[in-house]
Amino acid sequence: MFSQTCQVRFSHCDPAGIVFFPQYFVMLNGVVEDWFTHALGIDYAQLIGQRLVGLPTVSLQCDFAAPSFMGDSITYQLQVERIGKRSITLNVECIGTDGPRLKLRQVLVTTSLSKHQSMDIPGDVLDALNRWQNETGATS
């Protein structure tokens, strides 16, 4: 499991004073970036920017349990559900100090940003994913 705590910022919140739901996905993307760079050892910015491997989302299911307020600390806990040939399925829970905030399932696919077509997960990324799965004791 990869775990990261985010601060709920003024900029994440709406006129109701709670996180505007798309902002949870903006934060999620930051968590995925850091998971790649720091846990998998695959530099996310380089993967996208230099290697031109995209990681667009093809499927997202999310249930929201409770609102998050400005100033809250919320923790994203990321697990890999499945590693496909061209896709990675993540299960993510986001938890506040007082209980769950949301639970989501996200399917990412690897694409060539020069051709805008799906492509196989690059070998080093696949190795890193499998190694991380083994180390964290999860089953894929």
Q: Which residues in this chain contact its own copies in the complex, by CB under 8 A?
A: 7-11, 13-18, 20-23, 25-26, 29-30, 33, 37, 43-46, 48-49, 54, 56-64, 67, 69-71, 113, 116
Determine contact, residues 80/88, Cβ cutoff 8 Å. Answer: yes
Determine contact, residues 110/125, Cβ cutoff 8 Å. Answer: yes
Q: How far is the CB of 19 from its own copies (least distance, A)?
A: 9
Q: How far is the CB of 137 from its own copies (least distance, A)?
A: 28
- Of the pair 97, 139, the CB lying nearest its own copies is at 97
Q: How far is the CB of 109 from its own copies (least distance, A)?
A: 9
- Of the pair 91, 133, the CB lying nearest its own copies is at 91
Determine contact, residues 101/64, Cβ cutoff 8 Å. Answer: yes
Residue holding tokens 């190795």? 127
Residue type, 47: L
Distance CA 109, CA 125 (A): 12
